[in-house]
């Protein structure tokens, strides 16, 4: 049996658009975009329109959409709420289409738009995500959002956790150094994810802005069975 190829991309600046065209791209931005998207679907959101720029988000607001938008942790003045998963409550999102724009995560969804499939990954949906991937028979790229093009530890260990499960299936192999590094860093982190994340720069940024209340939640394994997937530019969800 020919195994499918597993790769990891540590930053938007390292993404190779043409080479990844036929692959499943797993968007990983656990603090906080990909965790918030998973939470929104768990709480009943109908769809999410990811937009890369502030003017796009503002234009949607003008059309009457519910808009979640932040930059560097701060809610944009025209937005209904920001980027914490705790904002996406059933009361706010059930049955709704949400327009969503964040510092890092939503832009890379558009960057990956030429790929075969784009799905959202986090600790919150890791089992359903990997279960879905294993049924697809496709190469996979774990695309870590990082922070302003920089490598981020928290996304990398989540990529390592996903990679561990895919490699354990025997359906995947890798010759990608980034994947090996993610697997190795995950092996160091998995005994105490919260403790490991303490040294991450994003951990400090969120603490400095009093936005770190959601970190424990974002590290919860299997809070939801939802797998958010992009269809024609819009996030909908597959329920496993």
Residues near a copy of itself, by CB under 8 A:
10-11, 13-14, 149-153, 156, 175-178, 180-181, 184-185, 187-188, 199-202, 204
d(CA 123, CA 219): 6
- Shortest Cβ 156–a copy of itself spacing (Å): 7
- Shortest Cβ 231–a copy of itself spacing (Å): 30
Bridge partners (DSSP) listed for residue 8: 142
Element (H, E) at 97: strand 97-101
12 or 50: CB nearest a copy of itself:
12
- Shortest Cβ 12–a copy of itself spacing (Å): 10
76 or 176: CB nearest a copy of itself:
176
98 or 197: CB nearest a copy of itself:
197
Tell me how far apart the 2 most distant CA atoms of the chain are, in Å.
54
- Shortest Cβ 55–a copy of itself spacing (Å): 26
61 or 180: CB nearest a copy of itself:
180
Element (H, E) at 155: helix 153-168
**DSSP secondary structure code for residue 28 in this structure:** E
Helix/strand/coil (H/E/C) assignment for every residue in 114-125: CCCEEEEECHHH
């Amino acid at each position: 049996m020919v195994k499918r190829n597993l790769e990891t991309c540590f930053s938007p600046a390292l993404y190779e658009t043409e080479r990844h065209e036929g692959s499943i791209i797993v968007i990983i931005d656990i603090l906080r975009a990909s965790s918030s998207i998973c939470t929104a679907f768990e709480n009943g959101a109908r769809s999410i329109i990811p937009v890369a720029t502030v003017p796009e988000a503002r234009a949607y607001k003008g059309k009457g959409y519910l808009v979640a938008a932040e930059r560097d942790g701060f809610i944009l003045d025209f937005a209904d709420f920001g980027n914490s998963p705790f904002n996406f409550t059933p009361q706010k999102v059930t049955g709704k289409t949400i327009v969503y724009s964040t510092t890092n995560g939503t832009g890379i969804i558009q960057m990956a738009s030429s790929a075969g499939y784009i799905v959202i990954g986090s600790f919150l949906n890791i089992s359903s995500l990997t279960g879905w991937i294993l049924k697809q028979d496709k190469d996979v790229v774990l695309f870590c959002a990082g922070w302003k093009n920089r490598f981020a530890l928290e996304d990398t260990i989540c990529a390592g956790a996903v990679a561990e499960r895919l490699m354990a299936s025997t359906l995947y192999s890798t010759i990608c150094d980034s994947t090996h590094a993610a697997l190795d860093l995950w092996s160091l982190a998995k005994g105490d994810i919260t403790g490991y994340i303490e040294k991450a720069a994003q951990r400090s940024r969120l603490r400095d802005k009093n936005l770190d209340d959601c970190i424990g939640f974002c590290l919860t394994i299997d809070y939801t069975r939802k797998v958010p997937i992009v269809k024609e530019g819009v996030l909908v969800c597959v329920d496993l």
